[in-house]
């Protein structure tokens, strides 16, 4: 069967185990590349646990993918990196986590556990910061397709309570209507007339906040786990 894109293929096979397995086999090099990009080390199937985690994450991405997640490969890469973070947190296998068992006695086991926990927490914070920076880079690329820059987004952010409330009302109005989100993403424009009609907000005010509103919609409907919480729109 021929598909127009990987996105269409994924949507059509999400309940077909045989086809899912076939896709995973085909994309093993891609999965390995995602792991190596995330971990910064060379990995090999059959030897590295990270690849098993990544393959499961790829299947998870197939089953949970929808149009609002953007391009499937970008979405799956983000799912893989999140699952690897979870894996490292749970297993404490990252090199920054120093085991002190070779240097201290059993009577200091409590201190050892606290030191390891602190190391893991520090690693987690550093990794989350790194992934947040990666998401910002991905967001910059996506926003550029909408002719929006990060600096414009910062400048356009609402400064006053009334303006902030107006933006909250507009964004909520849009996000509860999947067909409207689809229209916005397909056409890359804000339906100002429909917003004006339904919310009784003057067109000029909507236009003034257009780029900010579009950017928030992109972030909230995209796979931006680590920066989504920094978008303060009143939730």
pLDDT digits (tens, 9 = 90+) for 111-143: 444 444 444 454 456 666 777 777 788 888 888
Q: Give the pLDDT mean for 11-35.
A: 91
Farthest CA pair distance, the chain: 73
Domain residues of the chain, as ranges?
1-91, 95-144, 150-228
Residue whose tokens read 């602190």: 118
Q: What is the pLDDT of residue 32?
A: 92
- 45-62 pLDDT tens trace: 888 888 999 999 999 999
Torsion of the alpha carbons at 192, 196, 202 and 208, rounded to the nearest 10: -20
Q: Which CATH architecture does the domain made up of 1-91 adopt? A: Orthogonal Bundle (1.10)
169 and 198 in contact (C-beta within 8 Å)? no
Rounded (5°) CA angle 155-69-135 = 45
Rounded mean pLDDT of the chain?
Answer: 79
Residue 148 CB-density burial (10 A; 0-12 exposed, 13-18 middle, 19+ buried):
buried
Indicate whether 235 pLDDT > 70: no
Distance of CA 123 to the CA centre of its chain: 19
Q: Is the pTM of this model over 0.85?
A: no
Compute the distance between CA of residue 65 and CA of residue 192 in angstroms, rounded to an integer.
29
User: Confidence band (pLDDT; 50, 70, 90) for 178?
Assistant: confident
80 and 65 in contact (C-beta within 8 Å)? no
**Helices vs. strands in the chain: H and E counts, helices first:** 13, 0
Residue whose tokens read 């190391």: 119
Indicate whether 199 pLDDT > 60: yes
């Amino acid at each position: 069967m021929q598909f127009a894109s990987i996105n269409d293929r994924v949507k059509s096979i999400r309940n077909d185990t045989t086809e899912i397995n076939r896709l995973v086999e085909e994309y093993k090099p891609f999965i390995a590349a995602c792991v190596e990009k995330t971990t910064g080390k060379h990995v090999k199937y059959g030897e590295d646990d990270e690849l098993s985690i990544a393959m499961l994450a790829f299947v998870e991405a197939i089953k949970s993918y929808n149009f609002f997640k953007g391009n499937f490969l970008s979405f799956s890469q983000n799912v893989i990196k999140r699952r690897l973070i979870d894996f490292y947190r749970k297993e404490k296998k990252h090199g920054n986590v120093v085991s002190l068992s070779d240097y201290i006695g059993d009577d200091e086991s409590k201190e050892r556990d606290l030191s390891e926990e602190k190391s893991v927490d520090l690693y987690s914070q550093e990794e989350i910061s790194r992934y947040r920076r990666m998401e910002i880079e991905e967001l910059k690329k996506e926003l550029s397709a909408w002719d929006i820059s990060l600096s414009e987004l910062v400048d356009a952010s609402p400064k006053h309570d009334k303006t902030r409330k107006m933006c909250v009302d507009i964004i909520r109005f849009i996000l509860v209507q999947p067909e409207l989100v689809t229209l916005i993403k397909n056409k890359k424009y804000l339906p100002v007339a429909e917003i004006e009609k339904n919310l009784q907000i003057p067109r000029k005010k909507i236009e003034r906040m257009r780029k900010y509103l579009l950017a928030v919609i992109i972030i909230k409907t995209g796979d931006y786990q680590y920066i989504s919480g920094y978008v303060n729109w009143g939730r």
